[in-house]
Amino acid sequence: MRVPYEYATIQAVPRIERGELINVGVLLYCQRLDFLRAGTHLDEVRLRALDPQVDLDAVRTALTGWQKTCETTAQPMTLGERFRWLVAPRSTILRAGPVHMGLAADPAAELDRLVALLVH
According to the model, what pLDDT value does residue 63 have?
94
Q: How far apart are CA 20 and CA 79, in angstroms?
A: 30
Residue 42's domain comprises 3-118
**pLDDT exceeds 80 at position 94:** yes
DSSP letters for 90-107: --SSEEE---EEEEES-H
CA quadruple 64, 43, 57, 97: dihedral sign: negative
Question: Domain total for the chain?
Answer: 1
* pLDDT for the residue 17: 84
**Residue range 8-19: average pLDDT?**
90
Q: Are 37 and 28 in contact (CB under 8 A)?
A: yes
**Residue 74, pLDDT above cutoff 80:** no
pTM assigned to the model: 0.92
Element (H, E) at 35: strand 35-40
